[in-house]
Structure 1
């Protein structure tokens, strides 16, 4: 499912226009992104939790030349599915 298909599904399920569904989805994404950028955590019971963790600097290899390169430390977003989501996929 891509973004436009998700917007169509939200609009159909909620009985709202596609424009309203698009605004709602964009608001959700912006608010989750904003909270994570501030170092927060977003937890949706039954769906899952978004959090930020730090990945340490490390050495890697350039696959074309085989030469060793340094990969900088960075922050990454992690998602842990909730019990209902995990159960729905694995049932």
Structure 2
């Protein structure tokens, strides 16, 4: 498995694709990240065409087991960020 792309590499690749400088590409990436974060944390969802949908799912209160002791404890309700991958991306990966 290949190493994941770092933020620096992503900004450089984005700058090349946009035919602009790295500072502008970094600003665009941070703006996109901030937009996605604010929308999903507010309970909404964001669809990135060709990539997938990022959304927040609420999980109910439930009983879980501590693997070290085997003790059953109650875990409070919480939220979890999920992502559904777009069919186009799946198809391009599976060739």
Whether TM-score is above 0.5 comes out as: yes
Say whether residues 1:50 and 2:57 are aligned partners. Answer: no
Give the aligned partner of residue 43 of structure 2.
Answer: 39
Q: Of the candidates 23, 27, 44, which is equivalent to residue 27 of structure 2?
A: 23
Aligned-partner SS, 1:80 = strand
Give the aligned partner of residue 14 of structure 1.
Answer: 18
The superposition leaves residues 14-66 of structure 1 with CA deviations (integer Å, 9 ceiling, x where unpaired) of 12111111111111010011111221111122221111111112121222222
Aligned-partner SS, 1:78 = strand
**Could you tell me the TM-score, scaled by structure 1's length?**
0.87
**Could you tell me the TM-score, scaled by structure 2's length?**
0.84
- What are the ranges of 5 or more consecutive residues in structure 2 without an aligned counterpart? none
RMSD: 1.4
Give the aligned partner of residue 82 of structure 2.
Answer: 78
